[in-house]
Amino acid sequence: MSIRRDALYLVNPGYILADAGYDVWLGNMRGNYYSRAHVKYNPDRDEEFWDFSWDDMAKDDLPSMIYYILNATKYTQIGYVGHSQGTMIAFAEFGNLNNIVQNNVSFYAALAPVAHLSHIKSPLKYLFNTPKDPEYVWHLLFGYKEFLPSSNIIKWLAKYACGSVIFDPLICENILFVICGPDKKNMNNTRMEVYVSHEPDGTSVKNMIHFAQIFLSKQFQAYDYGSSEKNQLHYNQTTPPIYSIRPMKIPTAIFWSGEDWLADPDDVAFIFDNIQNLVYEKYISDYNHLDFVWAMTANKIIYEDLINQMQKYHPSK
């Protein structure tokens, strides 16, 4: 599930960075509102368009975006700020021994960082933890194109997200909040209709299957094609490659929390155990997964520290 970059910055960290003197570029992952164009396929018609997971975002989309920015600005390095899936693709790509893109990144801030998913509290775990192959179950429920849950499935998940507590229907009926957590104490209630009108945004069923595989395997790994033969065809080995964070040399700041349904502290511990150049970390006890980008207090609690760290390693011009 992706958060559209313009929606992510509704509480304006982009403007805050711009005010600090940075040239700000907002990336959009394939499949969302601004990334549905293709030279060959129509996302509304062609199943082939949706044949991607975050593997493809890490190895193809992220480097393409970085090199596009460098070419346009004539800079040699960027500072990278990622949230949720944006951190997952960064850890996968920046830790790749065979790439040079990390040489073009001078600082990396990871908000609600994700690599492992085995301890998630989100109701997604009930869809991830299937008795049959997750690929079979997810295709049966959602098809082969865009991940667009039916209202019945949203209501089923919401039962676990909201429980017996009466929450605003805008929250319980929006799949993004059902997945990430319905607690909105840190959000601006007057902006709630704006948030839910922008979100959720699109991703592929295959991407969600990949998340399910990460949950089940307890590994930070590439997409599993389901058989030794298919994996051999794609990877020249019978099992999906395991991603490693250890080779990543970029100065990294991590912002994490205790109430995050998707970046659980037990899973974030894997990142801390493997990261080699951690220059700053901040724990916020009461933030959920969305508070990192939408909380009213995010400017003081997150962005001021983020900018202070970025200025050390990637000073504004």
Instruction: Tell me which residues are annotated as active site.
Output: 84, 289
Residues 6+ apart with CB under 8 A from 150: none
CA-CA distance, 173 to 49, in Å (whole number)? 28
- The phi, psi pair for 78, rounded to 5°, reads -125, 165
Q: Which helix (H) or strand (E) holds 142?
A: helix 134-142
Length of the chain: 317
Cβ neighbourhood burial of 138 (10 Å; 0-12, 13-18, 19+)? buried
CA-CA distance, 93 to 91, in Å (whole number)? 6
Residues 213 and 223: beta-carbon distance below 8 Å: yes
Tell which residue, 122, 116, 123, 120, has the closest CA to residue 268.
116
CA-CA distance, 203 to 69, in Å (whole number)? 23
Secondary structure of 58-112 in HEC code, one letter for each residue? HHHHHHHHHHHHHHHHCCCCEEEEEECHHHHHHHHHHCCCCCCHHHHEEEEEEEC
User: Residue 21 half-sphere exposure, CB side, CA atoms within 13 Å?
Assistant: 8
C-alpha radius of gyration, the chain, whole number: 19
Residues 41 and 194: beta-carbon distance below 8 Å: no
